[in-house]
Structure 1
Amino acid sequence: GVVWGLVYVAVPAISGAFMERPVQLIPIPWVDFTQYTGYFLEATPIGFTLHLGPIFAGLLAPFWAVMGSFLGVVVHTIASPILYRHGFMPNWMMGMDTIQTHFVTGIDFWMSFGIGITFAVTVIGFYQVWMGVRMATTEKAAKRSWEPPPGRGDFRIWVCIAFFCVSSLYTIVVARVLFPHLISNTLLVFFFIFAFVYTPLISFVNARLDGLVGQNVSVPYIKEATIFLSGFKGIEIWFVDFGIDNYGASAERFRQIELTGTRFSSILKAEVFMVPLVLATSFMYWSYIWKLAPIPSDAYPYVQLMWPLRALQRSVWVTGTMRGEIETNEERRQVTWIPSNLPDGSWWYWRARASVDVDLEAKARTYGPWSKTDVFYTAFDNSDPPLHPRVSIPDQSIDLSEALDKGLPSAPEILGPVEGSRVDKPNPRMMIAEAFDQRGRKLVYQFEVDKVPSFDGSFLQSSDDLPILFDALKPKIIGVGFVVGISMFIFMSVFGLPILMVFGYIQSLTQIPHVLVTQIIGALLARFYFWKKYGKQEWRLYAAVLVVGFSVGMALVGMASVSIAMIQKSVSVLLF
């Protein structure tokens, strides 16, 4: 670990402190061939990591789980080019690297397929748990008692319940006080259900199942489903704590505390002492690290690659609630568009037009002329808007003759927000009067809003825009993934194959394959060499020591390297 850390960590860290760009003897985090192999393996990330960490992890990880991940990589490498050639991955383009390929192919196919597999594994997990509990209950149970073991320092039950209620209420109250416009009464009911019904129930079930059958269960995408069912518009709701937790794994830690003879009161004292200290020093430490070099930058190669991918993957869900809505009032013959969140303190230009192509997609429609362009100012604090540059608004004259000759509808009339008005919320109601059609046909409308009157800026928003999540979630592919997952479980159960391969396959759906390719090396070495030489159980003990030793060696070198870099960055060189 120390030797590898000197090559993999120390050289880039120390050289980056003295040079403009760090020196990498070994590419970090991987060697990428995707831009070259894309000519014959389309839409497939190809590469491998030279880090020894995955190999050591493969020495210790369950063999069939690693095999499932590796087979998943092989299957995806074969399937992705076939799917691309049949039009299932339209967003992939030649020349994309691993990060871009992994993201766009996930949007086109693998994300939906993975969700289907996840639901299948959830069903499988509940089935296995039910069978395990059924077998456990048939055995003669030992006499149970609610009395805790003596000398363990347990708190009274009512004290534990009181602390749980206070901590759960704290997050709900803070969310309600800080965001009164965000947390509706309906959402507040869900918060209480999650905090006081779902969390205790799922925690108790998982604690029992961990002891009975060694497995856990969960309900996937419960937070995402709640957000979408609430009908909330905007991104703020995604960063609010819903009180959804699973404390079942804590039972295992409690057992470890009991076996080591540690009192719960001692653990509490240690936490009370440690948490304030860690919080204070962490803020100091990370603020200092942040000032050493821009993040992301060449000084942090892993962050420079992975942060954009994680941001893109996160934004797929977060932007799912940013879709605008169109409302029609047939009695007043008015149409209203409510855009997604508009930033504060800006002038916004907007317009609208109509089309008779109701049954066609937005890109295929033929529209009539645009309405006049109006402008309004967003001031959420009700402050007076500044003077806007009226000269930048384009010509407001509308020529209807060409539209009437072609049988197109007229330009709609803007009703509000009127020119120069102020709006005090990020989702203003942009209202127009219905356009006139000579034949009285049903019309569909398109709105646009932007910070520039040319409507080609980076903040352009159209009523036809759909969040990328709507394109990523494909019900048919989700169904295919669910069927494949269930079929894999049935096939392996019938032929006596290890079910761990299914869980390993799920890992290949979410991770970059370059790491999984080298992990198989460690798994094969452990299975076909070390198991035979030392025995399975004895080798697992050795493997754990090897993995920990390797990690500690790299950590020591990393700490020393970062210390040198921090000292160098703290020194100011004077001219005399």
Structure 2
Amino acid sequence: MALGSIFKRRTKAISEDAELELYRGIIEVPNKFEEGFTMKAVVGALFCGIVMIPGSIYLSLLQGGNMNVAASWVTLILFAEIARRSLTTLRKQEMIILLGVAGSMSAGGPLGEYIYRQFIIGSEAVREAGFSQEFPVWYAPAADSQALVKRTFFHRDWVFPLSLMVGLLFIWVIRSYVSGYIFFRLSSDIEKLPFPMASVGAAGSMALVEAGEKSQSWRWTVFSTGTIIGAGFAAIHSLIPLVTGALLARPITLIPLPWIELTPMFKGILPAVALGVVIDLALVLIGFVVPFWAVMGAAAGVLITIIVNPILYHNGVLHTWKEGMETINTQIANQLDFWFSAGMGIALGLMLVSMIQTVTAIRSAMREAKGQGTGRSQRLQGGLATPPGRGDFPLKIAFMVYITCLIATFLLCYWLIRNPTPLLITFLLLYIFLYAPMMAYLNARLVGICGQAVQVPFIREGMFILSGYKGLDVWVSPAIDPQTDAERDAGQAQIFRQLELTGTRFWSEAKARALTVPLAFVFSFFFWSFVWHTNAIPSPTFPYVEKMWELQVRSNMIMWSATMGAEGETTMFQEAFHPPQIILVCGLTVFAFLVFRWVGLPIMFIYGIIRGAGAFPHMLVLEIFGALLAKFHFHKKYGAQRFLQIAPVLLAGYMTGAGLIAMLGVAFALIARSVSSTAL
């Protein structure tokens, strides 16, 4: 079968896939749109800044998560109850904006990145490589700075890095809003993608509204059930570690955090395979919500990894792995020997597939638009027309603002990087103005299809290496962060879908952003200063970051060493970079994609495989269990359409219950730390 016909079949499948249509029809779009930003959102932002940000900080250090989802629902319930006691109600438009405001204010704030940077500067991996003095002044203070010795942000050495962050926040906020709007118009209005996770926020908000109106009370019943389940599990999972961590040198964890380590246990049967299980009921409920075939595809990707790694080990490819290594060291060893290059190959293969698919889709749409006025062409024309009162603005203006933000990003890169070479400047132009927007759109489509974005790594890394640039500052430039950019832009497209489902004017979101970004910075600054000053980070008090940050730094060192080695010196990058493996895996990725489409596998399954290949299986185990339980039990018991309406409300309730208990533990920990600090 010809290559073009296979991709044409794939393009057609996106619009006609029954599962996509099923998820798109969970909630109907209302005909009327109303303002959602009111004084309630302002009060909610202040409440979350004071109460939720410190809780999110502690949870991120203890378990690797944050409270933005849980705190959002807790805030909604609290404000809904206050409104009812005041003989008034919150409209669903106010609910969804308050949900977004609470989420933005409860994520821990931007200062957490700088706590991580202070760890990088003084980490063992950086010292061993001799890079401690190579970090630029705009990144973080030097390792011997009194700002790091005294663990404080109230020092002049932080002025440059924090001032730069303020400018970057301004650019990022504007760019993510306009890019999210552009990608929403393309993926939702025109392509009619379902955005399955958007229904969580929309359905949960409706449940709280209906609790006050006493109409269609099944949503409130399901929400309350989820809250009870979340509170019960969080009492064991979060409350006990938080309380005991504040009183003892090490927290007591009845459920191992961050996961149950299984790698050494299966070293004889599955050598060089990182195995473990994250015990979190939220993953089961996420499996209820995420499309079934997307989860099955991820399971297939992980299974491929589990099968391939022992074969590679016995054939001498994964030679760095030794018996006794746990997950972290196993992953580092496998990256050096194979998966670093294999990841590059998968990325290149996916990029080739995406480019061909995009060109094919555009050509097909143009032919159909010329040929007839029905079907796809009618849908394309309908997608360009916007509903009255929704708060849309011309796409031309959105594109102009987006391009302006890209220009500002490029100029910032040029200013921060010392003595950029002409080739590096060329690569930056191609990356910022061509590749980054293309990948952001791809991720918006993935979020629209299966609710999750996929990072395609190593493109900017290859660009830096091929440019011949020597130095560390190019790697830590805050103006280029492909993973964050892709997730931010794709997530914003999903937020616009949530606004549409609840009948909320889009400009309400713009007003909410103008409020939350500066507030989050201020509250984050003071609370992170307090936590860092009272405890070294990382430390045994915070088991997640104590394990994971070292892995992240050592993984980064592989790439950073590529532009730091002296002439004739073998760097970690040279040890991990294997062009034959890249070419082989790239070819296999494209071939597998064509075969999967030829046999008619669901598009969600294919992208799920890409998500799971080479990934940790730890978080997927319970998600797979949840997907199977939903598909073969709850769908049969309640009906697929009905259960897909129930599942997002149940997940929202679970997050609320878990958040309430987590906040109780955080409050105790903060009081204990404050008393201890005062005594000292």
What TM-score comes out, normalization by structure 2 length?
0.57
CA 53–182 in structure 1, closer or farther in 2 if over 3 Å, else same:
farther
Q: Aligned partners of 1:206 and 1:168: how far apart in 2?
A: 18
Query: How far apart are 1:46 and its partner, in Å?
Result: 2.9
Matched residue, 2:573: 469
Unaligned ranges ≥5, structure 1: 326-462
Residue in structure 2 matching 1:306, options 527, 548, 552: 548
CA 501–126 in structure 1, closer or farther in 2 if over 3 Å, else same:
same
Query: How far apart are 1:543 and its partner, in Å?
Result: 1.6
What are the within-5 Å matches in structure 2 for residues 348-387 of structure 1? none
Question: 1:230 corresponds to which letter in structure 2?
Answer: S
Task: Indicate the SS of the match to 1:299.
Answer: coil
Question: 1:301 corresponds to which letter in structure 2?
Answer: P
What are the within-5 Å matches in structure 2 for residues 280-429 of structure 1? 280-325=522-567
Matched residue, 1:235: 472
Deviates more, 1:509-518 or 1:466-475: 509-518
Q: Do the aligned partners of 2:302 and 2:617 also contact (CA within 8 Å) in 1?
A: yes
Matched residue, 2:628: 524
Specify the structure having the higher radius of gyration (Cα).
1
Residue in structure 1 matching 2:420, options 183, 203, 206: 183
Q: Do the aligned partners of 1:122 and 1:217 also contact (CA within 8 Å) in 2?
A: no
Question: 2:628 corresponds to which letter in structure 1?
Answer: L
Question: 2:298 corresponds to which letter in structure 1?
Answer: S
Residue in structure 2 matching 1:94, options 320, 323, 326: 323
CA 321–133 in structure 1, closer or farther in 2 if over 3 Å, else same:
same
Query: How far apart are 1:133 and its partner, in Å?
Result: 3.8
What are the within-5 Å matches in structure 2 for residues 209-248 of structure 1? 221-240=458-477, 241-242=479-480, 247=489
Unaligned ranges ≥5, structure 2: 1-229
Q: Aligned partners of 1:278 and 1:29: how far apart in 2?
A: 27
Deviates more, 1:109-118 or 1:81-90: 109-118
Question: 2:310 corresponds to which letter in structure 1?
Answer: P
Which protein, 1 or 2, shows the higher relative CO under an 8 Å CA cutoff with sep ≥ 6?
A: 2
Query: How far apart are 1:193 and its partner, in Å?
Result: 4.9
Q: Do the aligned partners of 1:133 and 1:212 also contact (CA within 8 Å) in 2?
A: no
Residue in structure 1 matching 2:592, options 465, 488, 491: 488
Q: CA RMSD in A?
A: 3.6
How many equivalent pairs are there? 436
Query: How far apart are 1:4 and its partner, in Å?
Result: 0.6
Residue in structure 2 matching 1:535, options 625, 639, 643: 639
Q: Aligned partners of 1:107 and 1:53: how far apart in 2?
A: 33
Residue in structure 2 matching 1:545, options 649, 657, 672: 649
CA 234–38 in structure 1, closer or farther in 2 if over 3 Å, else same:
same
Residue deviations 1:446-483 (CA, integer Å, cap 9, x gap): xxxxxxxxxxxxxxxxx4x3221222222222222223
Q: Do the aligned partners of 2:290 and 2:450 also contact (CA within 8 Å) in 1?
A: no
Deviates more, 1:65-74 or 1:169-178: 169-178
Residue in structure 2 matching 1:506, options 610, 622, 644: 610
Are residues 1:19 and 2:272 paired? no
Residue deviations 1:476-515 (CA, integer Å, cap 9, x gap): 2222222332332233233323343332223333432122
Question: 2:555 corresponds to which letter in structure 1?
Answer: Q
Q: Work out the percentage of aligned pairs sharing the same amino acid.
A: 36
CA 156–98 in structure 1, closer or farther in 2 if over 3 Å, else same:
closer
Matched residue, 1:560: 664
Matched residue, 1:61: 290
Higher strand share: 1
Q: Aligned partners of 2:338 and 2:306: how far apart in 1?
A: 14
Task: Indicate the SS of the match to 1:514.
Answer: coil
Query: How far apart are 1:275 and its partner, in Å?
Result: 1.5
Query: How far apart are 1:319 and its partner, in Å?
Result: 1.8
Matched residue, 1:77: 306
Q: Do the aligned partners of 2:343 and 2:457 also contact (CA within 8 Å) in 1?
A: no
Matched residue, 2:512: 270
Task: Indicate the SS of the match to 1:513.
Answer: coil
Q: Aligned partners of 1:48 and 1:203: how far apart in 2?
A: 31
Query: How far apart are 1:122 and its partner, in Å?
Result: 2.7
Question: 1:553 corresponds to which letter in structure 2?
Answer: G
Q: Do the aligned partners of 2:297 and 2:609 also contact (CA within 8 Å) in 1?
A: yes
